[in-house]
C-alpha cells in the first residue's frame, strides 16, 4: 500500500519487555496465597507476586536506563503466571492489581513520556473463559458451541487420558482455539481491542497471529484499533517471513526474530562469518516496506527464548557486541527485563526469573554498556530513521554506515577471537564528504584519504563506533 504509515513514535522508541509476575512486587496485599519468596527458581506454575504497582514504583529505573516504551506480557485475568490462557479479557488479573492500578500505571507512564503496549491473546483462550465454560457445562446445548472448533461431544477439557475433542493451541487442552470465523467471536475480540486502546494503551503485541489464518480478521483489527487511536502500534509475533502481514493493511511491524537469529549466529555462537551476516541483514532490510522496517521490534531475548547472556555462554564481550548491533541497526530495540543486568537462564520457565534488584549482583560492565548504547541511539535520528549500508564484511569483521542529512556514523565490529587491523572503504553514497572519523567515547581520530580510512585496529570480540566529520564543516 502506498499510504502505509506506521506510528512515528515507534521508530524512535526503546522498548523494555516486562513479564509482570517477575519484575517487582509493589503491593503484597494482592499476592496469591501460594506466593513464593522473591527470587525462588521459576517453574511453570509458581507465582512471585510481581504486579502493576511494582512496575509503577520502579519507573525511575526505566527512565534512568533510557526506556521510552514498555511491552507488557498479558495482564488480564487468568489462572497462570504467564496469562496466555485468558478467561476475562476485560478485567485486570487481581494478582496483578485492579483497574485503578492500571490507570495509575498508565498515567505515570504517560507523564514520564513512556508508551506501553499490551499482549493480545486472540487465537485461543483459557478454559475458564465464560463461553467455553458454558460449553463445558451444557455441551451441545450451549449457545457458545460455535465460538470454538468442537469436533464431537463430549469434550474432555481436563481428562488427559482422552482426546479433548476440540481444537486447541499446539494440542494443549487448557488453550481452546477460538473460532474467529464466527461473527460473534469477531465482534467480541474487536471490542476487546478497542476497549483497551480507549483505556489508554498505546498498542497491541499480538500473540501467534499467524494461527488466525485470515487476512480479513486482521484487516478489521487494524481498522478498529486505528479508529480508536491512529497512533496505536500493532506488532505481531511472527518468527519467520512476515511479508503477508506487512503490506499496510494489517500490522505495523513484527518481532524481528530473524534478526535475532543472525545476531546469534554471528555474535553469540560464531557459527556465521561477517559476509553471511551482512548478506542476511541486507536481505532482511529489503524484505519489507520502509515504514515496517523502522517499526520492527528488534530483540535479543524474550520470554520465549534463553536469556541473551546465556546464549552467549556467559561471554560478556559477545553479549555487549549483540547490544551494539541491536542499537545501531534499523528498528526499535527491545530489552527483555533483566537482560541488561546480566541475568541468565535457559528457555521457559528459566528465562522468567524474578528481576534482581540487588545492584551488587548486577553485571555492571554489561549494564553500563547497554545504557551507553541507549544514549547513543537517542543522540541522533540517523540511528533511528537513517539509511544503512554495509561497507566491509570479510572474515569476522563487519563495518556499516548509518546516515541521515549531515549526520554520518560508522560501526566497526570484530566478532572473532583474534584481533584485526585494516582499512575500511567508504562508499560515497553512504559517507559523502567525510574528512575524518571521531570515535565515540574516546575521541580518537581516524583519518580518511582516497575513499578509505586509515588502518583501524579491532581487538577480539569488540566494536568501535565512529562519527563522521564532513569536509564542508570547516573541520576537515
DSSP 120: E
The domain covering 8-123+180-379 belongs, at the CATH homologous superfamily level, to Glycosidases (3.20.20.80)
- All three cell numbers of 401, joined, read 554506515
CB 219, CB 247: distance < 8 Å: no
pLDDT at 450: 86
| Placement of cell 551494539 in the chain | 324
pLDDT at 430: 66
pLDDT of residue 2: 64
| Locus of grid cell 506510528 | 7
Output the pLDDT for position 223: 98
Structure pTM?
Answer: 0.96
Name residue, grid cell 553485571. Answer: 363
Model pLDDT, residue 432: 67
Q: Is the peptide bond before 27 cis (omega within 30 degrees of 0)?
A: no
What is the pLDDT, as a whole number, of residue 113? 97
Domain regions of the chain by residue span? 8-123+180-379, 386-473
234-251 pLDDT per residue, tens: 999 999 999 999 999 999
The residues annotated with a catalytic role in the active site are: 207, 237
Per-residue pLDDT at 272: 97
Superfamily of domain 386-473: Golgi alpha-mannosidase II (2.60.40.1180)
User: Is the bond into 197 cis (omega within 30 degrees of 0)?
Assistant: no
Cα angle 263, 265, 270; round to 5: 115
pLDDT in the model for residue 472: 65
Low-confidence ranges of the chain (pLDDT < 50): 474-476
434-439 and 445-449 beta bridge pairing: antiparallel
Closest among 406, 415, 412 to 444, alpha carbons compared: 412
> Positive or negative CA dihedral for 281, 413, 362, 10?
negative
Amino acid at each position: 500500500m502506498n499510504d502505509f504509515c506506521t506510528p512515528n513514535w515507534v521508530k524512535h522508541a526503546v522498548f523494555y519487555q516486562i513479564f509482570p509476575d517477575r519484575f517487582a512486587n509493589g503491593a503484597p496485599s494482592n499476592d496469591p496465597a501460594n506466593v513464593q519468596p522473591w527470587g525462588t527458581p521459576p517453574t511453570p506454575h509458581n507465582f512471585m507476586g510481581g504486579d502493576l504497582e511494582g512496575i509503577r514504583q520502579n519507573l525511575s529505573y526505566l527512565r534512568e536506563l533510557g526506556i521510552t516504551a514498555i511491552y507488557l506480557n498479558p495482564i488480564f485475568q487468568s489462572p497462570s503466571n504467564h496469562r496466555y490462557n485468558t478467561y476475562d479479557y476485560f478485567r485486570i488479573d487481581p494478582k496483578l492489581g485492579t483497574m485503578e492500578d492500571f490507570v495509575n500505571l498508565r498515567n505515570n507512564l504517560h507523564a514520564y513520556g513512556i508508551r506501553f503496549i499490551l499482549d493480545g491473546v486472540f487465537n485461543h483462550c483459557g478454559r475458564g473463559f465464560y463461553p467455553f465454560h458454558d460449553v463445558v457445562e451444557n455441551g451441545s446445548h450451549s449457545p457458545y458451541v460455535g465460538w470454538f472448533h468442537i469436533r464431537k461431544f463430549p469434550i474432555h477439557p481436563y481428562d488427559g487420558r482422552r482426546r479433548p475433542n476440540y481444537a486447541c493451541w499446539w494440542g494443549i487442552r487448557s488453550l481452546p482455539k477460538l473460532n474467529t470465523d464466527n461473527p460473534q467471536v469477531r465482534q467480541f475480540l474487536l471490542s476487546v481491542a478497542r476497549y483497551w486502546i480507549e483505556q489508554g494503551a498505546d498498542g497491541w503485541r499480538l500473540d501467534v497471529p499467524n494461527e488466525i489464518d485470515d487476512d480479513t480478521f486482521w484487516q478489521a483489527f487494524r481498522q478498529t484499533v486505528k479508529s480508536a487511536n491512529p497512533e496505536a502500534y500493532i506488532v505481531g509475533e511472527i518468527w519467520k517471513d512476515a511479508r503477508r502481514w506487512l503490506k499496510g493493511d494489517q500490522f505495523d511491524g513484527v518481532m524481528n526474530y530473524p534478526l535475532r537469529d543472525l545476531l546469534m549466529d554471528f555474535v553469540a555462537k560464531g557459527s556465521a562469518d561477517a559476509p553471511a551476516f551482512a548478506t542476511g541483514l541486507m536481505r532482511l532490510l529489503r524484505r519489507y516496506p520502509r515504514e515496517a522496517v523502522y517499526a520492527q521490534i528488534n530483540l535479543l531475548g524474550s520470554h520465549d527464548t534463553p536469556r541473551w547472556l546465556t546464549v552467549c555462554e556467559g561471554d560478556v564481550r559477545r553479549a555487549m557486541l549483540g547490544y551494539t548491533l541491536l542499537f545501531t541497526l534499523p528498528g526499535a530495540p527491545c530489552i527483555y527485563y533483566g537482560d541488561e543486568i546480566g541475568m541468565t537462564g535457559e528457555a521457559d520457565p528459566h528465562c522468567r526469573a524474578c528481576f534482581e534488584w540487588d545492584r551488587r549482583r548486577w553485571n555492571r560492565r554489561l549494564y553500563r554498556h547497554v545504557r551507553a548504547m541507549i544514549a547513543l541511539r537517542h543522540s541522533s535520528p540517523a540511528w533511528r530513521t537513517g539509511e544503512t549500508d554495509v561497507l566491509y564484511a570479510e572474515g569476522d569483521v563487519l563495518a556499516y554506515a548509518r546516515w541521515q542529512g549531515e549526520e554520518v556514523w560508522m560501526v566497526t565490529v570484530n566478532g572473532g577471537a583474534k584481533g584485526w587491523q585494516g582499512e575500511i572503504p567508504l562508499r560515497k553514497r553512504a559517507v559523502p564528504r567525510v574528512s575524518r572519523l571521531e570515535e565515540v567515547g574516546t575521541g580518537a581520530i581516524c583519518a580518511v584519504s582516497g575513499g578509505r580510512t586509515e588502518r583501524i585496529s579491532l581487538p577480539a570480540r569488540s566494536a568501535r563506533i565512529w562519527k563522521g566529520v564532513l569536509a564542508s564543516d570547516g573541520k576537515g
